Amino acid sequence: MLELLLCSLLTIFPDYLYRRYRQGKRLGHEITLYSVWFELRFGIIACLMLTVSLITMIFYYHPSTTSATLYYRTVPIVPEITGRVAEVHVDYSAPVKQGDVIFRLDNSKQQASLETAKRKIAEVDASMLTAQADILKSEGQIQEAKSALQQANDELDVKRELQKRNPGIVPQRDIEKLEVAVAGRQGSVDAATAARQSVTTRVSALLPAEKASAEAALAEAQVDLDKTYVRAGVDGRVEQFLLRPGDVVNPMLRSAGVLIPEGAGQRALSAGFGQIEAQVMKVGMVAEAACISKPWTIVPMVVTDVQDYIAAGQFRGGEQLLEVQNTVRPGTILVFMEPIYKGGLAGVTPGSSCIANAYTSNHELIASGKVGAFKSFALHIVDATGLVHAMLLRIQALLLPVKTLVLSGH
């Protein structure tokens, strides 16, 4: 309507002035309701052509969309193990900090495993003390065996010396018995030494390894116990949290709830523009948005990113060939816009639906002097027509509460 009124001032109105003051035709006499088309046909045709051209130029160079939303990511509250809920530490809606316990699963089994691992470490420590005592015992046995060996060797030497000085005075059988006794005492010394080496090896290698294994089992049991405490991964707020003691939670089939991170949906506005505007949408374009949750407010924004792919064209490989005509709805160009001023989205509820405009600016190109006078004038016209779209956005923002509350029938 604004475009039509503007174009009529440049076409129909001058045509009427020409008919009135040049040809002397008066409104209500020569120019009536029935003769308007015949008398003002040139102005009407020019007005329609100019209006269509103006609307096309405005909507192309200054695109608009009603598909704009403050999307936000939620974090599912999912335990790492399946279990039955024992305690719930947060209410239906409550703020949480990173590391806060949200709920706890039944952990009697994990507690028992942890206690078993602790007892195993205590058992290894006790075995270490016993092994130390066994080392002292084996050293005493070695000393005793060496003393007995020394005594047998001394007695054998005496018998041999007597036999050497006075052959026949010592029976050969006694010497052989002493030699056998010496060999036996030497075996006792070797056995005691081997026993000490075994106990020493057990103290220095086997028991430390068993203790390390027990400590690893303790750490594993502690990890399993910690998994029964489901904590908040980030600062945020738990909403619609209906989990209660006795519920069974499965990480594969059923999550416990969702956690909305702090500041979610307050950074960027995601807007979908038509595919025909793919060549116009550029990073750095100035934009404006009006959201339903904050009526009568225009938020100045800037385009920070333009997605290079259209979601409607994606597919997954499978057992069937792709049929293109099944893609009924054409996709949109996803554009991310952020507020120019800090706190620009304050008061806008995350997830709110918005109306957004983006404006083409050729100021830098015109100021560079690389374009001619005619093109520079045309670019000035393109930039100036953005004012019409800005007015339309403000009219939409003004009428949005009326349209939502009154005309929607709710």
In this structure, the answer to whether residues 297 and 375 fall within a common structural domain is yes
In this structure, the answer to whether residues 191 and 244 fall within a common structural domain is no
In this structure, the answer to whether residues 20 and 68 fall within a common structural domain is no
- Is residue 117 included in any domain, yes or no? yes
In this structure, the answer to whether residues 125 and 165 fall within a common structural domain is yes
Going by pLDDT thresholds of 50, 70 and 90, the confidence category of residue 378 is confident
Of 306, 324, 307, whose CA–CA distance to 315 is shortest?
324
Using CA atoms, how far apart are residues 75 and 91, in angstroms rounded to an integer?
Answer: 17
Sign of the CA dihedral running 151, 154, 156, 162 = negative
- Is residue 299 included in any domain, yes or no? yes
Tokens representing residue 3 in the block: 């475009």
Per residue in 228-238, pLDDT (tens digit) is 899 998 899 99
Going by pLDDT thresholds of 50, 70 and 90, the confidence category of residue 163 is low
- Is residue 123 included in any domain, yes or no? yes
- Is residue 344 included in any domain, yes or no? yes
What mean pLDDT comes out for the span 179-191?
Answer: 72
In this structure, the answer to whether residues 337 and 299 fall within a common structural domain is yes
In this structure, the answer to whether residues 96 and 236 fall within a common structural domain is yes
In this structure, the answer to whether residues 237 and 287 fall within a common structural domain is no
In this structure, the answer to whether residues 213 and 252 fall within a common structural domain is no
**For residue 9, what pLDDT is reported?**
65
CB-based contacts of 82, cutoff 8 Å, min separation 6: 248, 249, 250, 251, 252
- Is residue 323 included in any domain, yes or no? no
For position 297, which CATH number holds?
A: 2.40.30.170
- Is residue 320 included in any domain, yes or no? no
Using CA atoms, how far apart are residues 349 and 116, in angstroms rounded to an integer?
Answer: 52
- Is residue 321 included in any domain, yes or no? no
In this structure, the answer to whether residues 212 and 134 fall within a common structural domain is yes
Count of domains observed in the chain = 4
- Is residue 355 included in any domain, yes or no? yes
In this structure, the answer to whether residues 354 and 244 fall within a common structural domain is no
Per residue in 276-298, pLDDT (tens digit) is 888 899 999 999 999 998 889 99
What mean pLDDT comes out for the span 105-121?
Answer: 89
In this structure, the answer to whether residues 130 and 219 fall within a common structural domain is yes
Domain that holds residue 247: 75-106+229-261
Per residue in 208-229, pLDDT (tens digit) is 888 888 889 889 989 988 988 9
In this structure, the answer to whether residues 273 and 378 fall within a common structural domain is yes
